[in-house]
Chain A
Amino acid sequence: MGFEYSDEFEDNFRRFMAEARKLEERATRAMKEFEERENCVVPLHEMRPTSNGYLITLDLPGVEKEEVTLTFRGAALIVTAPCRSLRVRRCGGTPHYFVELPLPPGIDESTIKAKMRNGLLTVEMKRVEGGHQIRIE
């Protein structure tokens, strides 16, 4: 039997979308509350897999490379930097950039390299090498 488009399908789809939005809203609220509480700005960031590891970028506008503190602790990458925005002011004073990014398992910490260009921090890391090759019969 082929796929049939029905009111039931549409209702389920709408319910699913509403649930997805609810989860997204909760995550956004949690992050904004964290920013308020900790007087920090969580920078926009993304992590992409590469052929031998991961590439992480973080948007840190207005920051010079000497001002960034990048720490690998446990299984996380912690980034802090001053934020001199004229717009982002809170009662706790000038905020700072802060984010703790959980990393996937198997990162070779000796391969972590970082560079900064126009306020965009790029962090490259490789997975631990090893394993054994499997012969194809």
Chain B
Amino acid sequence: MHESIGQIVVSALLANNFVLAMFLGLCPFLGVSGKLDTAFPMGVATTFVMLVASLCAYGLNLLLTSFHLEFLRLISYIVIIASAVQLVEMVLKKYSPGLFRALGIYLPLITTNCAVLGVALFQTAREYDFLQSMAFSFGGGAGFTLALVLMASVRERLQLSDVPAVAQGTALSLMLAGILSLGFMGFAGLGG
């Protein structure tokens, strides 16, 4: 693996966008993208959890590998992510109560966001070193935020348009996501 930091960021952000190309984190993508006001903080919080989780997962993987306990990887990653979310929750509650209240229920739900576990698993599978892992999780988180914000903006506009009753709800969101995904395919090959 000799990808440069820049390549990894651009690839995770655009060409291999977590949501639109790798199908990670679709539940919050479909669930929280109704309004721009919640979509953006959600993206930022997820990015932050991703960075923390990626950092912990990197250290943990070194530890597990040195003891030949690779079969415990999945279980320990999940526990680490759950703890990271708790940590973020506590820190936010102490230092930024406003943001804490704004995020509300979405914060604990980040634990079951497969994008976060995805970051940890992919960085292990691709044998990224420390800096590459950080770049990957930052790019992935930013890509997640980008997709969420784009989707929320489109859906806010769609509230004003007349959609056939059959297509309302999830079916429409999926079609939209498909079109966005089609657009993101234009980035293919960028960043390697």
A and B: bona fide binding partners: no
B contacts, CB < 8 Å to A: none
